[in-house]
């Protein structure tokens, strides 16, 4: 584990922070400067004024994402404010660049007002090819994303909602294959009904889990039909009749536990009460609702995933957002829709099944571990270079098939281009 001082030194030493801006065109001569700025820059300005879509030809827009937050729900730190959340947003930018060669400007908004946030993002949107909302508290995050998707013609994606949902969805697909269970038959209990919890429930519903087979719990207990305390319209989507009132009551005979709440909320007795071959996604960070070691003490038939890198099956959002935006940007998608999200999840699940041929660079990074689909390997590792060439084309194809792509590409040639990019990124 890293120490506090290591983390502070990493961010402080040398040039403070984790990002810098680098020119992509020569700036060595008088002519270079005349082309980069005045008078030469007037020519692309005129072209874009006549046809706004030409911005994708003459500017960074087509490879630029805005990572934007107001700092109201930063990691496990809570509402620490816009400025204090900036290191996280810079970190997100680093991941975009390292894994998918997507450029990022991080924007921290000093506002807790939904209308002000929405209007501000709308005003700066022409700069970007996509918007990644990050670390904005629930329930405001739902309204902000919904309104921006409606008003903008570029992808808007709240990663706290959809990232965990997509990655855990991929893990769920493979866990069900291993256990021989079916999406339409399983019972799922969620601990946590914020952005990630509701995002996962919505995504699993889209994959095929009946809504009546899902029970959501928050800090007040089960979200049941008729409950009035601490209910909003997003939680209300998952209200239905049940006699369960506590997490312990809800989890009895459940096939799947999906935790997006707090450390230690799940006990050994709760795990004992679950159905045969339980699937336990304890994804609270930094510490899970129950650890894999604690599960193993009471069940030898369980499959466990967490959000931590020091346990098998880390549900890590970096498996999703860089590749989703890469595919969306390259076909100039107007939005990131459900078919694109599902395509990402299914591609991740399929890639994990090809574990036997995982590149040696990945084996070296994980102690020459054996990568074969099973209880300890449900989803690919973040440093697997095949993610770019396997997941991104699936997302781009889904965008074209579903009608949100404004640019059509040859998916085979696209795959060849991504292979070259992957080789470059692997050497970064």
Which amino acids are annotated catalytic? 37, 92
Instruction: Give 257's strand partners.
Output: 189, 280
**CA–CA separation, 372 and 354 (whole Å):** 7
Query: Which distant-in-sequence residues (6+ apart) come within 8 Å of 373 by Cβ?
Result: 174, 177, 178, 352, 353, 355
Give, in order, the Cα–Cα distances in Å from 372 to each of 167, 351, 362.
18, 11, 13
Of 265, 104, 270, which Cα lies nearest the Cα of 192?
265
What residue has token string 């309104």?
A: 147
397, 343 contact by CB (below 8 A): yes
Q: Which helix (H) or strand (E) holds 189?
A: strand 188-191
What residue has token string 């997507």?
A: 102
Interior/surface letters 52-75, b for 16+ CB within 10 angstroms, e for the rest:
eeebbeebebbbbbbbbbbbbbbe
Q: What is the dihedral of CA 68, 72, 77, 82, to 10 degrees?
A: 50
Q: Which helix (H) or strand (E) holds 249?
A: helix 247-250
- DSSP per residue, 58-102: HSGGGGEEEEEE-SSSBTTTBS--TTTTHHHHHHHHHHHHHHH--
**CA–CA separation, 391 and 91 (whole Å):** 22
Q: What angle do CA 303, 349, 320 make, to 5 degrees?
A: 105
336, 156 contact by CB (below 8 A): yes
What residue has token string 């699936």?
A: 394
């Amino acid at each position: 584990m890293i120490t506090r001082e290591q983390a502070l030194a990493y961010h402080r030493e040398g040039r403070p922070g984790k990002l810098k801006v680098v020119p992509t065109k020569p700036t060595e001569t008088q002519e270079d400067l005349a082309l980069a700025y005045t008078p030469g820059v007037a020519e692309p300005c005129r072209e874009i004024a006549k046809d706004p879509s030409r911005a994708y030809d003459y500017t960074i827009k087509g490879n630029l994402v805005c990572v934007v937050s107001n700092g109201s729900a930063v990691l496990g730190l809570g509402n620490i404010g816009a400025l204090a959340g900036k290191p996280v947003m810079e970190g997100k930018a680093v991941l975009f660049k390292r894994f998918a060669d997507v450029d990022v400007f991080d924007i921290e908004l000093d506002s807790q007002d939904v209308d002000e946030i929405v209007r501000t993002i709308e005003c700066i949107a022409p700069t970007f090819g996509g918007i990644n909302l990050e670390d904005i508290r629930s329930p405001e995050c739902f309204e902000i994303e919904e309104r921006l998707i409606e008003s903008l013609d570029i992808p808007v994606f709240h990663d706290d909602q959809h990232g965990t949902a997509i990655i855990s969805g991929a893990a769920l697909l493979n866990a069900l294959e291993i256990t021989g269970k079916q999406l339409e038959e399983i019972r799922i209990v969620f601990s946590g009904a914020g952005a990630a919890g509701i995002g996962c429930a919505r995504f699993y519903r889209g994959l095929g889990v009946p809504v009546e087979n899902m029970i959501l719990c928050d800090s007040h207990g089960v979200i049941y039909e008729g409950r009035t305390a601490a209910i909003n319209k997003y939680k209300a989507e998952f209200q239905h009749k049940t006699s369960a009132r506590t997490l312990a009551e809800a989890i009895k005979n459940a096939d799947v536990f999906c935790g997006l709440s707090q450390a230690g909320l799940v006990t050994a007795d709760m795990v004992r009460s679950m159905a045969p071959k339980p699937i336990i996604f304890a994804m609270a960070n930094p510490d899970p609702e129950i650890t894999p070691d604690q599960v193993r003490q009471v069940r030898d038939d369980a499959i466990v995933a967490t959000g931590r890198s020091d346990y098998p099956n880390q549900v890590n959002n970096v498996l999703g957002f860089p590749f989703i935006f890469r595919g969306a940007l390259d076909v100039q998608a107007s939005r990131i829709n459900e078919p694109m999200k599902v395509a990402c999840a299914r591609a991740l699940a399929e890639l994990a099944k090809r574990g036997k041929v995982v590149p040696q660079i990945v084996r070296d990074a994980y102690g020459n571990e054996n990568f074969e689909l099973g209880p300890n390997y449900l989803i690919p590792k973040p440093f697997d270079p095949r993610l770019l060439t396997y997941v991104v084309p699936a997302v781009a194809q889904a965008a074209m098939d579903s009608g949100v792509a404004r640019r059509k590409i040859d998916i085979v040639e696209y795959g060849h281009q991504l292979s070259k990019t992957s080789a470059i990124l692997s050497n970064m």
